[in-house]
Amino acid sequence: MVGIAFGLSSIVGRVAQFIAASTAPVPKPAPAGTEYLSVSALGEQMARPGGLTSVDLISHLQARIGQLDPTLHSVIELNPKALETAHALDLERASGKVRGPLHGIPVLLKDTIETDTMQTSAGAFGLVGEVADKNAPIVAGLIEQGAVILGKTNMSELAGFRGGPDGWSARGGQTLNPHHPEADVGGSSSGSAAAVTAGLAPLAVGAETNGSIIVPAAKNGVVGLKPSVGLLNRQGIIPASQRQDTPGPIGRSVFDTALMLNAMSGIDTSDPQSVGAPQGIDYTALLVPDALKGKRIGYPATFTVNGEPEAVENSAQFARALEVLGEKGAILVAINMRLADGSRYGELLYSDVKEELGAYLAGRRGLPVRSLTELIKFNEDRDGKDTEHQPALKEVSASTLTPQQRKALWDETLQDFRSTIDKPINAQKLDAVVADFETNSYFAVATAGYPGITVPSGTDENGLPTSAYFFGTRWSEPTLLAVAHGYEQASQAATRPKPQALD
């Protein structure tokens, strides 16, 4: 009886899906500017009788992608089931069921995150084959919360570990910055940031080893959160290093990014990096007026290199960011930050990639390659040998560190980088630290496995986005989001691409 009941349930479910798909309404034109509405504003529109539907929104964004993305190269593949899912969610809303703030909201995913309806290739033709047999847990969580997976985004191939330009992949081409086609787009979550900037989706998921969320978010003028390593489930994501990897949200506001983090939350109990990770937190709870009042926020006035402090030359935009923070009640504290020794970081990271990416290829079914050696040969057969087009991948494959050597060196490196952040924060009793993104503080924060968030701070002399970067110690996401939100709301410094830049 159990088997019969399960079978009937499955058949009824499929019939219901077929009926829903066959009776899907003709999409209505979306009002002008819909592509840049916040998640909350989109939810409010969908809640109105006769208002915007998820089908309307998805259709509008699919058309916009068709119009703009042949130039931007930010979206590598569209989800063939997006409209079907949107229609089902519209029917749920009409029946009175709303799953949460992301109900009917489209989300794009970096092409390293497994889905069972699209390729997961990290932009590499060598990883195009059978689709994954299930969605990554963070994707399943987003779907459970009512998000519509709109598609996959382009990226620096193999998360930059092929060695090509930022934003380029063999499969997706060269992602462009929507603000200017010749501007740096950043990597490796290039397409995720560029697509959100261009109004192709309100939200996207990126993934970072070191800088891969923060850099493209900053370069494209949107908000990117790199969470503490272990805060989110990392299963079903093409790996580089379990000591460094994390997925994270990209949006056009801190509030939208916090909503996304809520929907992505959930740890992997088998992941040793998740021990002690907080759970059940509403990351929007502290995003309130006066969030900055009384907060002690450090900013690097000097960086110590080889024992000698060097003064930091901050941009005019960052100087103004400090003024805004002070005007809103933050207590600003000048600090010195020691720069840790990162001389062996690349060697250690490449060694991790060799082991972890190699294991992933060996375990993933239905791909043209099963090892790094096969992937290198595949690329040579496809792209030729006359020019060097995969230097980083060959360095990864040539790594010779043993696991024992690597562990000892990693332990020393991580302790060194963490102390450069923990010491000034603890000594000055800081709630957070803010730095000009251009000081590259994100490198130390990512290496430490700590959280950081980048927020637009204006534009430079070329009209390109600038960003302030907030960071803190492990698991400090609620406070970081609060101070970042306070700054964002006070500064109103975000800018959109000029329409002619998107033509």
Task: Report all structural domains of the chain as residue ranges with CATH numbers, in order of start.
Answer: 37-274 (3.90.1300.10)
Work out whether the CA dihedral 380, 382, 384, 387 comes out positive or negative. Answer: negative
pLDDT of res. 306: 86
Measured distance CA(137)–CA(232) in Å, rounded: 9
Rounded to an integer, what distance in angstroms lies between the CA atom of residue 102 and that of residue 263?
A: 8
Q: How much of the chain is in helix, strand and coil states, percent to nearest 5?
A: 45, 15, 40
Contact 481, 249 (CB under 8 A): no
The answer to whether residue 74 is catalytic is no
Report how far apart, in Å, the C-alpha atoms of 394 and of each of 10, 83, 263, 380, 475 are: 48, 41, 37, 11, 35
Q: What is the pLDDT of residue 7?
A: 37
Q: Report how far apart the first and last C-alpha atoms of the chain are (Å, whole number).
A: 60
Q: What is the mean pLDDT of each run of 10 residues along the chain (503 residues)?
A: 32 39 78 97 97 98 98 98 98 98 98 98 98 98 98 98 97 98 98 98 98 98 98 98 98 98 96 97 98 98 92 95 98 97 97 98 98 98 93 97 96 98 98 96 97 98 97 98 98 93 77
pTM: 0.95
Structure tokens at 190: 């290039």
What distance in Å separates the CA atoms of residue 487 and residue 429, rounded to the nearest whole number? Answer: 20
DSSP reduced 3-state for 83: helix
Q: What is residue 16's predicted lDDT score, i.e. its pLDDT?
A: 39
Query: With b meaning 16 or more CB within 10 Å and e meaning fewer, what string describes 121-156?
Result: bbbbbbbbeeebeebbbbbbbbbebbbbbbbbbbbb
Cis amide linkage into residue 188, ω under 30° from 0 = yes
Cα 411 to Cα 407: distance, rounded to the nearest angstrom: 6
Residue of 106, 37, 454, 102 lying closest to 260 (CA atoms): 102
* Annotated catalytic residue, options 59, 212, 315, 351: 212
Pick the catalytic residue from 54, 59, 169, 188: 188
Report pLDDT for 23.
60
Name the E strands within 95-236.
106-110, 148-153, 168-169, 173-174, 203-208, 223-226
Q: Which phi and psi angles does 310 have, rounded to 5°?
A: -120, 130
Choose the catalytic residue: 54, 59, 74, 110: 110
Question: Which residues, listed in sequence order, are joined to residue 453 by a DSSP beta bridge?
Answer: 225, 470
Which residue blocks in 95-189 are alpha helix, DSSP H?
Answer: 137-144
Query: What is the sign of the dihedral through the CA atoms of 70, 148, 34 and 27?
Result: positive
Q: Is 491 among the residues known to form the active site?
A: no
429 is catalytic: no
C-alpha gyration radius of the chain: 22
CA 395 to chain centre: 26
Position 386 scores a pLDDT of: 85
Q: DSSP class of residue 220?
A: H
8 Å CB contact between 98 and 122: no
